[in-house]
Chains A and B, each alone.
Chain A
Amino acid sequence: MTTNTENAEMIPGLRTLLRRLWGERRARWCLVTVGIFFLAAAYGEGVYRYSQWRDETPGYQRTNLTERYLPPSPFRDPFGQARRSGAQTVWQVTVGGLHTLAHHPMGTDNLGRDVFQRLVQGARIAFLVGVVTALIAIPIGALLGCLAGYFGGRTDDVIVWIYSTVASMPGLLFILAIALVVGKGLLGVYLGIGLTTWVSLCRLMRAEVLKHRDRPYVVAAHALGLGPMRILFRHIFPNVFHLVIITFSLRFPAAVGTEVFLSFLGIGVQGEPSWGVMISNARLRLWQGMWWEMTFVTLAIFAVVLAFNLLGDALRDALDPRLRVRDN
């Protein structure tokens, strides 16, 4: 299955790509979900920074022991509550009910902290982890893969040795070990996930650059006397860049899942409500009938991971038809 250079499909530009994704119903839903997730993360970051700047306890950490175990507002009969508290007219009942609906919409946890605000903070941390680990893993994988594929020989041997060594380490345990050695906290999570997940991109890049190395456009650039680095990064790299985008969209949900796991084990983020911390907290309260925290965290993780998984497939179909997985 050799790809013919003349018939090689054009890789669409960013705008075309977005338009094509938006045109598909499923991909559009994914984009919307990812957008909401991004906004929630940005809002969470804003709240976090603001409370840091004001040097006060942020809303998601504020405990209120009189409002512990408050179910989500739709389960509290907000309108009845408004009526009981003295509202007479339909208008008063409606306004009072809506007011109660907005009060702890997803309920409170065992310390009276607002589940919704904590969920938003969890989105912030999940987003940070997804992006920062990608920023660590993708440059390593892309650079090593390009170098190995283009130069071959000794360089290739060394890089293949490095990545096969890293690939042989048992994934999750290796991440745990790194996080443990670096120390508890987000830095350990970033490094643990970032330093172990570049291998797949490196392999893909290496194979792809290897194919491009003898294409006429590279030979022509070579004949023009351009240096190897210029050829590699100005000419070949844009042609294999789609692999970076695909890898990112597939790595992101995996990184979110791993962060949840690490935080759950207590190695990840300390003192901040990440989704893993929330699951670990909600798990113990589930037996006492506090189902809402668990449910909302589960749904949030599910929605984000599903959106990224589907988006990854759609991107792959749009960018690299040879890797197509759906609708063969």
Chain B
Amino acid sequence: MNGDLARYIGRRLVQMIPTLLGVILVTFILFNVVGGSPATQVLGKSAGVRDLDDYDRQRGFDRPLFWGQWARTRLFNPNQWGKGAAGLWRGEGLEWASGEGGTRLKVSRLAVVPLAFDPAADTVYRWEILGRLSSGATAELVGLEGEREIGRRPFSSGSGLVRLDFTVPEKDRTLRFEVRVEGGTLEMEMPVLRRALRHPWDSQLYYYLAQLARLDFGESVSTHQKVSRLLLDGLGPSLALAIPIFLISLMVSVALALVCAYTRDRWLDRVIVVTAVALMSVNYLVWIVMGQYGPAYRWGWFPIWGFESWRNLVLPVWIGVLSGLGTHVRFYRTVMLDEIHRDYVRTAFAKGLSEGQVLFGHVLKNAAVPIITNAVMAIPFLYTGNLLLESFFGIPGLGGISVNAINSSDFDVIRAVVLIGAVLYVSANLVADLCYAWVDPRVRLG
């Protein structure tokens, strides 16, 4: 049996792997592919280009999603192109023209390409400029550091692409890039500047996986704390709220379900069922607002805000229990009634056992399997289940942290909470299955 159990756990752990990979993939798709870089949301519209670039670079958002050789950089970006940015461009004989295929710049002598900030040292950058030369004209892209030339590439006659790779030898060197044209005009499209990666797999996905492997969930933008630290700090208050809610609502709803089963189809049962459906239909927000207004504010029975003593927890625990009670009672009642119509119950009654003996001795035991499954599957939700309660009552738990993170677009925190929640759910699934086997000997570990 013990070997069986170990083998079963082993196999279930292996089965968890695809789901976990799926969860990682979903969070990646959600936050990186769909979401993209939250730099402007986080740093605000007025943030400098350099800060935005640093943000992206630190969090790997400038890299390609899956693989590639080049990363994006804001060193030269679309804000620096077009009539609106004409003031940034110095030179002689510049003329902006917009037509199909975007804005073009006509250069007849010299154009100095503006850079948003100084490029980073020891990094390979590459210019890509698409240009069309008028007949008889020659043009080249020249890179200068002070007066020293660091690179030079000619435009081919007709239309063609010019590539120029360059590196900055040391910090704080000012670079300048000039497009020099002689004997005609060069019509150029928006230049593209890219940063080279160390290796082609140095992508966002790689960055994300490496981060996860280090159990590093990033850093909160608003508090500048490590996300893992933040979440660990929040765990205690969260559990202080969630565990009482969980235990009380489990006990109360199982007890009420037993009462229902005992008085089935009589008035008490009806009243409980109707109340349960009514409780289910009250919006969660309403519970909180009413609770804070009535018992806390009007009658002053409980403190409204804070996390100092157990008295702070009484009201949120009550609200948490009440708001979930309807669903739970109905569920457990169905479970009990399912059992009550079984043959063994009829046999037990036929043998002359009392209602109480049958209910507690037989029905409750057999109903334990679905009850335990339901309870175990509720455990992962203990961790984030009380988003609103925590943020309304000022309890510094994970739920409150998540709501704050949502308000301040703190993507690293949200991603970590979602990810950990999913891992907990998958683990709880395993535990629930093991509980099955433990409670019900008929379940074979097959």
Query: Which chain B residues border A148 with CB–CB below 8 Å?
Result: none
Query: Which chain B residues border A142 with CB–CB below 8 Å?
Result: none
> In the bound complex, do residue B414 and residue A173 qualify as a contact, i.e. CB atoms below 8 Å apart?
yes
Answer whether residue B330 sits at the interface, using C-beta atoms and an 8 A cutoff: yes
Cβ proximity bits A294-315 to B, threshold 8 Å, 1 near / 0 not:
1000100110011001100100
Query: Which chain B residues border A80 with CB–CB below 8 Å?
Result: none
The B interface is mostly helix, strand or loop, or mixed, namely helix
> In the bound complex, do residue B285 and residue A264 qualify as a contact, i.e. CB atoms below 8 Å apart?
yes
> In the bound complex, do residue A178 and residue B297 qualify as a contact, i.e. CB atoms below 8 Å apart?
no
How far is B411's CA from A42's CA once the two chains are assembled, in angstroms? 38
Answer whether residue B422 sits at the interface, using C-beta atoms and an 8 A cutoff: yes
How far is B283's CA from A261's CA once the two chains are assembled, in angstroms? 9
How far is B429's CA from A165's CA once the two chains are assembled, in angstroms? 12
How far is B402's CA from A320's CA once the two chains are assembled, in angstroms? 40
Query: Size band of the A side of the interface?
Result: 35 or more
Which among A253, A265, A279, A328 is the interface contact of B403 at CB below 8 angstroms? Answer: A265
Residue of B nearest to A181 (CB): B35
Which among B26, B265, B284, B417 is the interface contact of A257 at CB below 8 angstroms? Answer: B284
Query: Which chain B residues border A171 with CB–CB below 8 Å?
Result: 381
Answer whether residue A174 sits at the interface, using C-beta atoms and an 8 A cutoff: yes
Query: Which chain A residues border B265 with CB–CB below 8 Å?
Result: 327
> In the bound complex, do residue A168 and residue B418 qualify as a contact, i.e. CB atoms below 8 Å apart?
no
Query: Which chain B residues border A164 with CB–CB below 8 Å?
Result: 19, 22
Residue of A nearest to B326 (CB): A309
> In the bound complex, do residue A168 and residue B406 qualify as a contact, i.e. CB atoms below 8 Å apart?
no
How far is B337's CA from A326's CA once the two chains are assembled, in angstroms? 10
How far is B425's CA from A167's CA once the two chains are assembled, in angstroms? 9
Which among B18, B422, B429 is the interface contact of A170 at CB below 8 angstroms? Answer: B422
> In the bound complex, do residue A162 and residue B22 qualify as a contact, i.e. CB atoms below 8 Å apart?
yes
Answer whether residue B278 sits at the interface, using C-beta atoms and an 8 A cutoff: yes
B-contacting residues, A95-132, CB 8 Å: none
> In the bound complex, do residue B35 and residue A170 qualify as a contact, i.e. CB atoms below 8 Å apart?
no
> In the bound complex, do residue A180 and residue B406 qualify as a contact, i.e. CB atoms below 8 Å apart?
yes
> In the bound complex, do residue B282 and residue A328 qualify as a contact, i.e. CB atoms below 8 Å apart?
no
A-contacting residues, B157-197, CB 8 Å: none
Residue of B nearest to A326 (CB): B273
Residue of B nearest to A327 (CB): B265
> In the bound complex, do residue A165 and residue B22 qualify as a contact, i.e. CB atoms below 8 Å apart?
yes
Cβ proximity bits B117-153 to A, threshold 8 Å, 1 near / 0 not:
0000000000000000000000000000000000000
How far is B290's CA from A279's CA once the two chains are assembled, in angstroms? 11
Which among B22, B30, B425, B426 is the interface contact of A178 at CB below 8 angstroms? Answer: B30
> In the bound complex, do residue A168 and residue B422 qualify as a contact, i.e. CB atoms below 8 Å apart?
yes
Which among A170, A181, A266, A313 is the interface contact of B381 at CB below 8 angstroms? Answer: A170
Which among A177, A182, A302, A328 is the interface contact of B283 at CB below 8 angstroms? Answer: A302
Answer whether residue B341 sits at the interface, using C-beta atoms and an 8 A cutoff: yes
Query: Which chain A residues border B244 with CB–CB below 8 Å?
Result: none
Query: Which chain A residues border B286 with CB–CB below 8 Å?
Result: 279, 298, 301-302
Which among B282, B284, B289, B387 is the interface contact of A283 at CB below 8 angstroms? Answer: B289
Answer whether residue A10 sits at the interface, using C-beta atoms and an 8 A cutoff: no
> In the bound complex, do residue B22 and residue A161 qualify as a contact, i.e. CB atoms below 8 Å apart?
yes
Residue of B nearest to A323 (CB): B334
Query: Which chain A residues border B429 with CB–CB below 8 Å?
Result: 168
Query: Which chain B residues border A253 with CB–CB below 8 Å?
Result: 281
Query: Which chain A residues border B233 with CB–CB below 8 Å?
Result: none
Most buried by A among B273, B338, B414: B414
Query: Which chain A residues border B206 with CB–CB below 8 Å?
Result: none
> In the bound complex, do residue A325 and residue B285 qualify as a contact, i.e. CB atoms below 8 Å apart?
no
Residue of A nearest to B277 (CB): A309
> In the bound complex, do residue B337 and residue A328 qualify as a contact, i.e. CB atoms below 8 Å apart?
yes
Answer whether residue B234 sits at the interface, using C-beta atoms and an 8 A cutoff: no
> In the bound complex, do residue B19 and residue A180 qualify as a contact, i.e. CB atoms below 8 Å apart?
no
Answer whether residue B348 sits at the interface, using C-beta atoms and an 8 A cutoff: no
> In the bound complex, do residue B277 and residue A169 qualify as a contact, i.e. CB atoms below 8 Å apart?
no
Query: Which chain A residues border B281 with CB–CB below 8 Å?
Result: 253, 302, 305-306, 309
How far is B340's CA from A176's CA once the two chains are assembled, in angstroms? 41
Query: Which chain B residues border A162 with CB–CB below 8 Å?
Result: 22
A-contacting residues, B381-419, CB 8 Å: 381, 383-384, 387-388, 402-403, 406-407, 409, 411, 414-415, 417-418
Residue of A nearest to B280 (CB): A309
> In the bound complex, do residue B34 and residue A181 qualify as a contact, i.e. CB atoms below 8 Å apart?
yes
> In the bound complex, do residue A169 and residue B283 qualify as a contact, i.e. CB atoms below 8 Å apart?
no
Answer whether residue A172 sits at the interface, using C-beta atoms and an 8 A cutoff: yes
> In the bound complex, do residue B406 and residue A265 qualify as a contact, i.e. CB atoms below 8 Å apart?
yes
> In the bound complex, do residue A287 and residue B34 qualify as a contact, i.e. CB atoms below 8 Å apart?
no
> In the bound complex, do residue A173 and residue B30 qualify as a contact, i.e. CB atoms below 8 Å apart?
no
How far is B265's CA from A182's CA once the two chains are assembled, in angstroms? 49
Residue of B nearest to A308 (CB): B281
> In the bound complex, do residue B426 and residue A168 qualify as a contact, i.e. CB atoms below 8 Å apart?
yes
Q: Decide: A305 near B422, CB < 8 A? Known: A161-B18, A178-B30.
A: no
Most buried by A among B278, B283, B415, B426: B283
> In the bound complex, do residue B23 and residue A165 qualify as a contact, i.e. CB atoms below 8 Å apart?
yes
> In the bound complex, do residue B418 and residue A170 qualify as a contact, i.e. CB atoms below 8 Å apart?
yes
Q: Decide: A267 near B406, CB < 8 A? Known: A287-B297, A326-B273.
A: yes
Q: Decide: A260 near B283, CB < 8 A? Known: A170-B421, A326-B273.
A: yes
Query: Which chain B residues border A174 with CB–CB below 8 Å?
Result: 418
CB distance from B346 to the nearest CB of A (A): 15
Query: Which chain B residues border A165 with CB–CB below 8 Å?
Result: 19, 22-23, 25-26
Which among A170, A298, A305 is the interface contact of B380 at CB below 8 angstroms? Answer: A170
Answer whether residue B344 sits at the interface, using C-beta atoms and an 8 A cutoff: no
Q: Decide: A173 near B34, CB < 8 A? Known: A257-B284, A298-B286.
A: no
How far is B417's CA from A176's CA once the two chains are assembled, in angstroms? 12
Apart from A168-B426, A325-B334, what are 7 other A-B pairs with CB-CB below 8 Å? A161-B18, A165-B25, A170-B380, A180-B409, A180-B414, A279-B285, A302-B282
3 closest A-B pairs by beta carbon, nearest first, are A165-B22, A170-B421, A306-B281
22 contacts between A and B (CB under 8 A): A161-B19, A164-B19, A165-B26, A166-B26, A168-B23, A169-B422, A170-B380, A170-B381, A170-B383, A170-B384, A173-B418, A180-B406, A257-B283, A261-B284, A261-B285, A265-B407, A287-B293, A298-B283, A302-B283, A302-B286, A313-B277, A328-B338
Interface residues of B (CB under 8 A from A): 18-19, 22-23, 25-26, 30-31, 34-35, 264-265, 273, 277-278, 280-286, 289-290, 293, 297, 330, 334, 337-338, 340-341, 380-381, 383-384, 387-388, 402-403, 406-407, 409, 411, 414-415, 417-418, 421-422, 425-426, 429
